[in-house]
Amino acid sequence: MPAIWPRLLERLASGDPVVGVDERRRWGRREFEHAIGMGIFRETEPATCILCDACPERHWAEVHVAGVSRRRFYACPEEGTQHVDAERLRQWRIDAGRVAELTAGALGISTTIEVLLLQHLWRLGRRRLGGRYRDIFLGVGGGPPLAEMSAAIRRSIGQGSALLLSVGCDGNPAEIPTGHQVVDFMAISRLEGVQVIVDLEYLEDRCTEGTPPARPTLPSIPAPAGATWRDVSVTVFEGFLRITIGGKEQEVEFAELGVDWQSQTIQLLKLFAAARGTLDAAKIGDLGAGDTGARMRVRRLRRVLQEVVEVDGDPIENHRRSKVYACQFEIRLAGDEGHRTLAGVTWLDLAFHERSDGRIAVAAPERRHFRARGAQNHRGESTGEVAEECRTATRTYCLEEMGLRTQAGRLSSEGAAFVGLLRAGGRLPRRSNDLVVLRLAQQLREWTGLEGEPLHLVEASRSWTAVFACSSEVKTS
């Protein structure tokens, strides 16, 4: 994934757009050549200072040019006169105007670009976004603050609505007038080969906010007062979602969400479901989105979820330190039904609990991968020392999913035995050759993937006891 784009944008925003041979090497020679080919870098005057590499001091020295020979040299206090290869002094300037042109091109705008504030603000042109025409601007930091850019925009277009793509502009976005929207350009753009790509889908979304949606209102699912995302469970089917909040179940088709089943948002949702709710940021990047793309996609999915489920708070938390996105609700793929248990886990490690809403909470040890803290590079980023921890995770299932109740809502004989077992704290007064008990044991083995007997016969009391912990919130008469 070309990393040169965010770096050169950062350099632009820092107000120091001249880069040397060292940067060319660090940023990748090939990408650098691409960028030169695109006109982003233009060769400029050679450097007049150089970092000495003749002595261990790493000091800066001024470069002199010898009269006739035009040879270049500098003086090192330790090692004396040092000649410098002209190649080492080459420098390139990032052409911010060219970045503006390429951005306009990526937005499909072909009208002439207008400079509003020299080296810092360009009017790229107009295009339709979020259902209406807007003027789009590119602002580069290291100069006037946002408020001043906003004033220049107003002078240029009057009261119209404007979208400012900001490359590290200083200032509080809250202070700029309504009608002017600021979007972090680094987060929505990237370089692919010799093309600048702008995430138009995201811009459309951003510009649609606040304006009434063109699609019919979402079938938002009401939640009981005080419900949080932890009370929500989502099962992802091929064309729809089944969402359960506080025992109430509702199905929503992707089309109703206003997203296509092939869209990135749904792909991401499925990825989360397959991973049971926790995804490495890098894995999302692997979808072809890169780091910034990952953030953007999660943001979009978050919005879809918040629109459809009437629960406050963040459904997908970004754990920056461990570079992991974690769904705050339960999510899984339909068909991924069995409860996955770890190797080495036995029936003794499991606990089944009947909730008052009739669903079964299953607590089991689960392995979690996380990046060890402390392993960081000089930029404070985690370098990805992967560690493992074992902890108890609780997942909730309905009896249908466990194969203990029919879709019509009738408990099977095994289901009735199972519920009886939980309510009696793990005792089941049945005979040794009771077929229902034997079938229940078989079903539990298959569902958990665990070997060994989940139920033991206690000859003396002529009853069965569960090896796993049993409890219930349901009062028995």
Query: 296: Cβ–Cβ under 8 A, 6 or more apart, which residues?
Result: 187, 188, 199, 202, 289
Our CB check for Zn ion shows the closer of 55 and 66 to be 55
- Candidates 49, 51, 55, 387; binder of Zn ion (CB under 5 A) is 55
Stretch that binds Zn ion, among 75-83, 155-163, 309-317, 442-450 (CB under 5 A): 75-83
Name residue 1's amino acid: M
- Pair of tokens at residue 394: 């609780």
CA distance 443 to 425: 19
Q: How far is the CB of 192 from Zn ion (least distance, A)?
A: 42
Q: How far is the CB of 273 from Zn ion (least distance, A)?
A: 60
Our CB check for Zn ion shows the closer of 81 and 383 to be 81
Q: How far is the CB of 162 from Zn ion (least distance, A)?
A: 52
What does the chain come to in residues? 477
Our CB check for Zn ion shows the closer of 81 and 195 to be 81
Q: How far is the CB of 277 from Zn ion (least distance, A)?
A: 56
Our CB check for Zn ion shows the closer of 52 and 437 to be 52
Our CB check for Zn ion shows the closer of 76 and 227 to be 76
Q: How far is the CB of 60 from Zn ion (least distance, A)?
A: 9
CA distance 331 to 363: 16
Our CB check for Zn ion shows the closer of 55 and 65 to be 55
Name residue 272's amino acid: F
CA distance 228 to 466: 33
Q: How far is the CB of 85 from Zn ion (least distance, A)?
A: 16
At residue 458's C-alpha, the angle toward residues 456 and 459, to 5°, is: 130
Q: How far is the CB of 146 from Zn ion (least distance, A)?
A: 44
Our CB check for Zn ion shows the closer of 54 and 474 to be 54
Our CB check for Zn ion shows the closer of 76 and 116 to be 76
In terms of DSSP bridges, do strands 330-333 and 232-236 run parallel, antiparallel, or are they unpaired? parallel
CA distances from 92 to 16, 31, 73, 189, 373 (A): 11, 14, 21, 22, 38
Stretch that binds Zn ion, among 1-9, 48-56, 288-296, 362-370 (CB under 5 A): 48-56
DSSP string, 203-223: HHHHHHTTSPPSSPPP-PBP-
Q: How far is the CB of 86 from Zn ion (least distance, A)?
A: 19
Stretch that binds Zn ion, among 55-63, 108-116, 299-307, 399-407 (CB under 5 A): 55-63
Q: How far is the CB of 89 from Zn ion (least distance, A)?
A: 16
Nearest in space to 301 (alpha carbons), one of 280, 321, 319, 316:
316
- Candidates 47, 76, 113, 469; binder of Zn ion (CB under 5 A) is 76
- How many residues bind Zn ion (CB under 5 A)? The answer is 4
With 0-12 CB in 10 A as exposed, 13-18 as middle and 19+ as buried, what is 418? buried
* Number of Cα atoms under 13 Å in the Cβ half of residue 347: 18
Our CB check for Zn ion shows the closer of 52 and 94 to be 52
Strand ranges inside 239-385, DSSP E: 240-245, 248-253, 278-280, 316-319, 324-327, 330-333, 351-354, 360-371
Using CB under 5 A, which residues numbered 148 to 177 contact Zn ion? none
CA distance 295 to 284: 9
Stretch that binds Zn ion, among 10-18, 51-59, 266-274, 354-362 (CB under 5 A): 51-59
- Candidates 52, 234, 243, 269; binder of Zn ion (CB under 5 A) is 52
With 0-12 CB in 10 A as exposed, 13-18 as middle and 19+ as buried, what is 469? middle
What order do you get walking across the sheet with 64-65 strand by strand? Answer: 64-65, 72-76, 80-84
Stretch that binds Zn ion, among 29-37, 54-62, 271-279, 348-356 (CB under 5 A): 54-62
Our CB check for Zn ion shows the closer of 80 and 449 to be 80
Our CB check for Zn ion shows the closer of 20 and 426 to be 20
Q: How far is the CB of 61 from Zn ion (least distance, A)?
A: 7
Stretch that binds Zn ion, among 53-61, 63-71, 324-332, 357-365 (CB under 5 A): 53-61
Stretch that binds Zn ion, among 73-81, 99-107, 320-328, 428-436 (CB under 5 A): 73-81
Q: Which DSSP state fits 47?
A: P
Q: Is 73 in the site for Zn ion (CB under 5 A)?
A: no
Our CB check for Zn ion shows the closer of 88 and 423 to be 88
DSSP string, 405-440: B-TTSPBPHHHHHHHHHHHTTSEE---TT-HHHHHH
Nearest in space to 305 (alpha carbons), one of 247, 396, 233:
233
Q: How far is the CB of 19 from Zn ion (least distance, A)?
A: 23
Stretch that binds Zn ion, among 46-54, 64-72, 284-292, 432-440 (CB under 5 A): 46-54
Where along the sequence are the contacts to Zn ion (CB under 5 A)?
Answer: 52, 54-55, 76
